[in-house]
């Protein structure tokens, strides 16, 4: 039986959008309480009764969280643009080789603004 799991994790960070037009409020440094939702899918192991332990998702994300938490995202190599799009792609690529069944990564900057990346 195939299932899809989703785990939400959080970190705090600052960023700015250097490519935004002059006068755009996001061109200045500001912060967010980011929520990252990681989705994986796979077959339930009939002996264990689950596909993947949620703790495995948390453990794989933790080194990434530590790189980003209470940091200026634009200072992280590969995230110079500071966008939610670049952050979702970055996290997805960091998790791809180590997290079985990775489907997508969603980065939520605010309650109403998010970006989802599902791979190439």
Mean pLDDT across the stretch 73-87?
96
Helix or strand run (H / E) with residue 83: none
Q: Is 85 a catalytic residue?
A: no
Does the annotation mark 115 as catalytic?
no
Q: Is 26 a catalytic residue?
A: yes
Q: Return the domain boundaries, the chain.
A: 2-117
Fold topology of 2-117: Tetrahydropterin Synthase; Chain A (3.30.479)
φ/ψ (deg, to 5) at 86 = -65, -35
| Per-residue pLDDT reduced to its tens digit, 105-115 | 999 999 999 99
Q: How far is C-alpha 1 from the chain's CA centre?
A: 27
Q: Which of 26, 72, 104, 115 is catalytic?
A: 26
The contacts found for 43-46 with CB under 8 angstroms, 24 or more apart, are: 43/1, 43/2, 43/3, 44/1, 44/2, 44/3
Q: Summarize pLDDT for 9-60 with one digit per residue, the tens.
A: 999 999 999 999 999 999 999 999 999 999 999 999 999 999 999 999 999 9
Instruction: Give me the catalytic one of 43, 70, 80, 85.
Output: 70
């Amino acid at each position: 039986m195939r299932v899809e799991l989703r785990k939400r994790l959080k970190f705090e960070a600052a960023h700015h959008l250097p490519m935004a037009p002059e006068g755009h409020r996001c061109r200045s440094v500001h912060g967010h309480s980011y929520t990252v939702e990681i989705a994986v899918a796979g077959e339930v192991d009939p002996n264990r009764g689950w596909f993947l332990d949620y703790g495995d998702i948390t453990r794989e994300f933790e080194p990434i969280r530590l790189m980003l938490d209470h940091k200026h995202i634009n200072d992280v190599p590969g995230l110079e643009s500071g966008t939610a799009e670049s952050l979702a792609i970055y996290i997805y690529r960091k998790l791809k080789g180590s997290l079985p069944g990775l489907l997508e990564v969603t980065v939520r900057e605010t309650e109403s603004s998010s970006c989802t990346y599902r791979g190439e």
